[in-house]
Every structure is written in C-alpha cells, then in structure tokens.
C-alpha cells in the first residue's frame, strides 16, 4: 500500500436535474474528503467520458464508478464508501 499517494481523480461531464451536461465537482466532494483524510494528495483532471469518475495511481486506474452513484456534499459521513483506499 502506498501511503500518502498522489492520486489523479479524472471525472467526466454529467447532467444534473435537467441542467446542461458539463463538468461539475459537487458529487466529488465526499470522495475528496475521504482521500484527504487518508493523507492522499488529489489532482483533478477533466475527461470527456460522460458520467465517469476514475482514480489513478502510478498511471493505473485503481477505482472507477459512475459519477451519478456518488452522493452530493462535502461531508464524507454521507459518502457511500466505507473504509480507506489502499493502493
């Protein structure tokens, strides 16, 4: 496991409640809070794949999900993932 890894969080555009399709970070806030709490340095990178979130460490995708599966808000108590990220 890499402690305090540098992580690239790649995220694509999505449509939210009838709004136009664009890159938004609202749904990433809980995940970002968990990563920061674990001591990881996270860099955001926009990608063109719709509805996608990927975490990359050492140029390898270690986590991928649909951005719409993530809940809103900065409070990581509401983040659906329980535990820590081990790379």
Q: What residue ranges do the domains of the chain occupy? A: 6-75
pLDDT of residue 82: 44
CATH number of 6-75: 3.40.30
Answer for the pair 16, 52: CB distance below 8 angstroms, yes or no: no
Structure-token pair, residue 48: 């063109």
Selection from 31, 13, 32 nearest residue 23 by Cα: 13
pLDDT of residue 60: 94
This prediction's pTM: 0.78
pLDDT of residue 3: 74
Cross-strand pairs, 57: 60
Q: What is the pLDDT of residues 30-77, one digit of tens each?
A: 889 988 888 999 999 999 999 999 999 999 999 999 998 887 655 545
pLDDT over 90 (residue 26): no
Answer for the pair 20, 13: CB distance below 8 angstroms, yes or no: no
């Amino acid at each position: 496991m890499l402690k305090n890894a540098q992580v690239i969080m790649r995220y694509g555009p999505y449509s939210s409640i009838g709004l136009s399709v664009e890159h938004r970070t609202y749904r990433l806030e809980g995940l970002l809070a968990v990563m920061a709490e674990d001591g990881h340095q996270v860099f955001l990178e926009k990608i063109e794949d719709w509805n996608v979130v990927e975490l990359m460490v050492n140029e390898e995708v270690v986590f991928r999900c649909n951005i719409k599966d993530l809940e809103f808000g900065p409070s990581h108590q509401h983040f659906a993932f329980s535990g820590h990220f081990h790379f």
